[in-house]
Structure 1
């Protein structure tokens, strides 16, 4: 909660001083934006993953704001040349959508098509096959349906929305800190004990390969790989990580007939993807690989195309002011302690 308050203060403070108008040094050459769900707002109450979704209306606000600030929306394919080439007259922006959600086609695609905006959809193979594990949703549904959560010495009340939020945050971060097999086993056990149909979570949420192939017939749509099973790669041995990266590219290309040149690391923070994973993405032949490490793109990133930062469009901050602050680059450069490239 404190971390979110600090982020909010940074965003709204940056907009208050109109950083987008004067902090050109922080903006860099461009930015890659990250989205997940695009759909109407959920009901108020317990919604711990609300940060992963924005409304269709706010997606329109994002496009309006990019236009007002002079950003040019470009395909991900253009990023390497724009980083290596001369300083552009206008900053560029790339729009990326992770996981392959059905609502991206239903709600985002029509808005993007109406603006003739190119975008990238990163696809996890098992999600497209309807057999993936949305462990964060498993945990959410377990907490939603349970009056108490018990695990490994924890006994957390979960009767009210506030108690559920605290229980979710406590268990989420404890599990994230440990081995991924323990995390997945725990969320499955808790979800199934609460009556959750674990298998249905990804099957209902994500596009199948036939639907993805049809969507990709639009020349504005670029497809990218997002591994086979959506693991935190750095928590696994090198052969597992290599297979997740390389075989996901082959699986997506085979299912869609499209060339797959780009990779998004699942979760994408330093605990999930680091120098080893960047090297594996390069070894697998990807032109770029993107993280969730926050930051804008500078010319120096031309030397690190497999460790590109992105800026998450957070569903908890759906305002033009917060977006202007992110697009200024100033709060992100401050977050990175003045470092333009963070690839270690």
Structure 2
């Protein structure tokens, strides 16, 4: 581990294990943002997966660490607590974006084992369907997870839309190649959504759906540990939609949650974290008093409820949660 990481881990440990460090956390809330829990830690460590994925060992390690330093509470308990009577011990709420199938297969057994509540925000068009998330599908095809024939076919399609593959994506070193893939996938975000959809459909689809189905949603909800909210319908970036499409996207996700869940959360979760004043106004008009963004900071009941801060969890900082503590320290809002 680099000297930089040793410094951060040491600073994070001191933050949570000394009275001086814990002072800013007194009475505060921390909202964590996760996406996937894979079945294999090594797979989650590669750079193109690290930011959105954690492995089961790292996730279990994170849960134990959180219980040692925080009260793990449901998201609404954190949001609705009386600011005049919040406990001194800091509270943490776990959130998962998108609605991946592995939330039920790999994350939930550990959440149930340690009795840690969580909120999952669903991109509702994907739930119970064979639709695929473009980042995962394109990334794994380019990585070679579906074989070289599929990889070369996608490379040709990408060339046709003016996005040729960089040379570094043929590097023999896994870490360098994976890091190059991260940067390349980031560059594809500017493509037209229909082009991304067409590219995704040109890739092989696995035997299992990527997303949860509605029976899994109801099973998780029935456990009493998990609640669900909307993360868009199609996962479209809301700031790029005109007023009519924005209204349709918000309405479709709300109706799907009302039909599929017993008690959907009154919290919206912005796809990609993107929002502006127009989007926030429409989210409020659709009956959501709260919405989750991706800016970092502590929750203290005094910020914009339609731009709630969160800290992202990666494989790296789940495996070494002192790094997460360092991020919380660096991103603290007073």
**Shared fold by TM > 0.5?**
yes
Match of 2:9 in 1: 12
Distance 1:127 1:153 in 2: 26
Pairwise CA distance, 1:12: 3.0
Contact 2:132–2:210 (8 Å) recurs in 1 = no
| Worse-matched range after superposition: 255-264 or 71-80 | 255-264
Distance 1:260 1:324, change over 3 A: closer
Structure 1, unmatched stretches of 5+, are 334-338
TM-score scaled by structure 2?
0.82
Distance 2:312 2:255 in 1: 27
1:115-264 equivalences in 2 (<5 Å): 115-145=114-144, 146=151, 150=159, 152=162, 154-157=164-167, 158-160=169-171, 161=174, 164-165=177-178, 167-176=180-189, 178=190, 180-181=192-193, 184-186=194-196, 188-189=198-199, 192=202, 196-197=203-204, 200=205, 204-264=209-269
Contact 2:47–2:179 (8 Å) recurs in 1 = no
Structure 2, unmatched stretches of 5+, are 145-150
Contact 1:127–1:203 (8 Å) recurs in 2 = no
Distance 1:126 1:325 in 2: 36
SS in 2 for 1:285: coil
Distance 1:24 1:42, change over 3 A: closer
Distance 1:215 1:190 in 2: 29
Match of 2:54 in 1: 54
Contact 1:133–1:202 (8 Å) recurs in 2 = no
Distance 1:109 1:7, change over 3 A: farther
Distance 1:202 1:126 in 2: 19
Distance 2:11 2:232 in 1: 35
Pairwise CA distance, 1:230: 0.8
Pairwise CA distance, 1:309: 0.9
Match of 2:270 in 1: 265
Contact 1:120–1:224 (8 Å) recurs in 2 = yes
Distance 1:250 1:9 in 2: 48
Which of the two has greater strand per residue? 1
SS in 1 for 2:305: coil
Cα RMSD over matched residues?
A: 3.0
Distance 1:245 1:6 in 2: 46
Match of 1:325 in 2: 326
Count of matched residue positions in the alignment of Structure 1 and Structure 2: 314
Contact 1:82–1:88 (8 Å) recurs in 2 = no
SS in 1 for 2:324: helix
Distance 1:134 1:173 in 2: 14
Distance 1:251 1:10 in 2: 46
Distance 2:106 2:40 in 1: 12
Pairwise CA distance, 1:262: 1.9
Distance 1:6 1:281, change over 3 A: farther
Match of 1:65 in 2: 65
Contact 1:39–1:107 (8 Å) recurs in 2 = yes
Contact 1:14–1:331 (8 Å) recurs in 2 = no
* CA deviation string 1:57-107 (max 9, x = no partner): 2222222212222x1111112233226443432211111112222222122
Contact 1:29–1:297 (8 Å) recurs in 2 = yes
Distance 1:188 1:8, change over 3 A: farther
